[in-house]
Structure 1
Amino acid sequence: MELDLRLVRYFVAVADELHFGRAAAQLFVSQPALSKQIRKLEDQLGENLLVRDSRHVALTARGQQFLADARRLLTLADSMAQPARRNTVSIAHVFELSTSRMVADAFAQAQPDIQLREHAMDSITQLNALLRGRLDVAILRVTPRMQVAHPSGWRHRLLRLEPLVVVGSGDEDPPPTASFHDRPLHVFGDPPHSGTYNAHGQYLTALQERLGLEMRWLGTPGAFSFCLAHAQRAPKSVRYLEFLSYAEKYVEAGMLMFWPEELQPYYPWSLAWRTDDVAATTTSLIDIALGLAEQHSWLAPDQSAAQSPAWMPDDDPAWPELTRRR
């Protein structure tokens, strides 16, 4: 039997997500088409790899074994398909947020002879691309689920604890803080039922549950200009939860920024790289990124924030580091 690598990739995506809708969105195929292709793979193998019902997807014992082999197969196939690296390094950005952009700019300035290849990907897509050899360094939010799904083959290190703040329109001379409960709170994120729910959405869900409020999810536009236009059109009663690096752009456009009163959420950005990657370009990029973090005190709680308790999801891998520094 000759395995179709495309079907193997489809299976790994479903196994990672345990959700056909999210896997289909990641693969840019329809959910019915993805389900059909998984059935085709199972027919070729003569065994079920997944157990499905109306609410859950789970791996069979054969599926767990096949997943481990599939990861090794895809890693090897991707490695063979990659051109030899000659003074290049590949990273990804989470849309237009500043952390990865600052790292890229610092690297380009320090290493002008090395070609920097840049992509736009969310955190989950970045990790998958990293493990397949399509990225050399990822700048992403590491989640417990990522660590369980991919227990080996990569390393990560905390790069930045970025505050989340409240932005919106309002009266002149407003107070510097705002309650999460004062006005309707909108978030640019994909909700759990969307099929494109990701690491950012998981963080927002945990915060929503912690605050005991219902946020209004607007989807992920991927461009700051869209977010700004939406906020400028909105009534003054509406406020948005945003990353600090985005909020600074809102302020430049004439809007207001508020530090949260109830608690101070921190979003953890981490560097990630493959364990077996010893290329000098990768090492150089990591060193430059960590130097930038130290220069800008990215791992220290923001001194401008209100004296609110620091928060991130209890199971977040970065939580011990945040509590130590707080």
Structure 2
Amino acid sequence: METRNIELRLLRYFVTVAEEMHFGRAAGRLAMTQPPLSQAIRALEDMLGVALFVRTKRSVELTPVGKDLLPEVRRLLAGADALRPLAQSLARGEAGVLSLAFVSTADYGLLPLLLRDFGARYPGVRLQLVEATSDVQVEELVAGRIDAGLVIPPLLPRHAVALSYLPIAREPLVIAMSSDAAAELGQGAQEWSQTPVSLHQLADAPLVVFPRRLAPGFYDIIMGCYGAAGLMPRVGQEAIQMQTIVSLVSAGMGVALVPQSLRHLRRTGVVYRPLLESGPVVETGLVWRAAEVSPVLAGFIDIVRTHAATVPALP
């Protein structure tokens, strides 16, 4: 008989006999008679092709192979016993893996809040996090390589039908500028001030911005802000990560329009100011494949919905 046909029942019999070192007592623990137990152990030995016990009329002892095999069998049975509770946890979304991508703008406000709440409710779920631009996230979603993503809309039209989107938060844009530029405007050197700055005051400063091909939604919001003020910005530098954009601002390479939560990204020589011009906001939302919602993902979506309901909408 092949080892692939070994039943867990036979392995449990082996462990019980090894613990009792007596077929009669082992049979009593297993609520069976001794002859069927002896036959079962013989069948297991035949399957494995080795003797597990040395039997005499007076004693039962484990063979050297039996002694070495016993801890391995115990580990195997422990794993089998854990299957049912694991399966139940997976079905409830309390265990498993969630692969989540996020835009860099979410890393300084929205993402930590969601991960904190999700981790508190589902501590048994393992998170796989990756930072990516919105366009890359959509492609990864469609290919099935991630479960969900925090993106800046709009979605690509050719993928919109296959994906679900849930808006989470909208926040105003603020100006990130060097402390030297702030000093020239008569602003203080503090990292954040409620004193607004007009785009017209910075019209000659180069703009540091995401490339449109990688973040069309965010790029168009920024350009629309300048356009509404009657200005045409001069793009000085492009970068695909917020950390890089803010670092370029600190080096005096220009100014940037960033979500208000980026105030938490502190860089020496960078200050943040609200815009005098009203209206420019950036939205962040969750996107996932509409036809594939695992229990783990459903739990995360529930966290997102709860958070979205508590965030006041901006005009």
The one-letter code matched in structure 2 to 1:241 is L
Unpaired stretches in structure 1, ≥5 consecutive residues? 1-84, 302-325
Q: Please give the TM-score of this superposition, normalised by the length of structure 1.
A: 0.56
Question: Residues 97 and 128 of structure 2 are in contact (CA less than 8 Å); yes or no, is this contact kept in structure 1?
Answer: yes
The one-letter code matched in structure 1 to 2:196 is T
Partner of 1:245: 261
Partner of 2:289: 274
Q: Which moved more, 1:262-271 or 1:172-181?
A: 172-181
Question: Residues 207 and 234 of structure 2 are in contact (CA less than 8 Å); yes or no, is this contact kept in structure 1?
Answer: yes
Shift of 1:220: 1.7
Unpaired stretches in structure 2, ≥5 consecutive residues? 1-92
Shift of 1:260: 1.2
User: Are residue 88 (structure 1) and residue 106 (structure 2) matched?
Assistant: no
Q: Please give the TM-score of this superposition, normalised by the length of structure 2.
A: 0.58
Partner of 1:220: 239
Question: Residues 208 and 255 of structure 2 are in contact (CA less than 8 Å); yes or no, is this contact kept in structure 1?
Answer: no
The one-letter code matched in structure 2 to 1:164 is L
Shift of 1:282: 0.6
Structure with max Cα Rg: 2
Question: Residues 90 and 135 of structure 1 are in contact (CA less than 8 Å); yes or no, is this contact kept in structure 2?
Answer: yes
Paired with 1:91 and 1:164, the residues of 2 have a C-alpha distance of 25
Shift of 1:157: 1.3
Q: How many percent identity over aligned positions?
A: 18
Q: Deviations over 1:119-151 (max 9, x none)?
A: 1111111112112211211111221x62x3224
Q: Which moved more, 1:208-217 or 1:117-126?
A: 208-217
Calculate the aligned-residue CA RMSD, in Å: 2.8
Shift of 1:175: 6.7
Q: Deviations over 1:73-106 (max 9, x none)?
A: xxxxxxxxxxxx9711111121253223432333
The one of 203, 210, 234 equivalent to 2:252 is 234
Question: Residues 176 and 257 of structure 2 are in contact (CA less than 8 Å); yes or no, is this contact kept in structure 1?
Answer: yes
Please give the secondary structure, in 2, of the residue aligned with 1:161. Answer: strand
The one of 129, 142, 158 equivalent to 1:131 is 142
Shift of 1:288: 1.1
Paired with 1:286 and 1:186, the residues of 2 have a C-alpha distance of 39
Shift of 1:267: 0.4
Q: What is the count of residue pairs matched by the alignment? A: 208
Partner of 1:316: none
Please give the secondary structure, in 2, of the residue aligned with 1:167. Answer: strand
Could you say if the C-alpha distance between residues 114 and 272 of structure 1 is closer, same or farther in structure 2, counting changes exceeding 3 Å?
Answer: same
Q: Deviations over 1:278-323 (max 9, x none)?
A: 311111111112223344x2x433xxxxxxxxxxxxxxxxxxxxxx
Partner of 1:264: 279
User: Are residue 166 (structure 1) and residue 179 (structure 2) matched?
Assistant: no
Please give the secondary structure, in 2, of the residue aligned with 1:150. Answer: helix
Question: Residues 176 and 257 of structure 1 are in contact (CA less than 8 Å); yes or no, is this contact kept in structure 2?
Answer: no
Please give the secondary structure, in 2, of the residue aligned with 1:164. Answer: strand
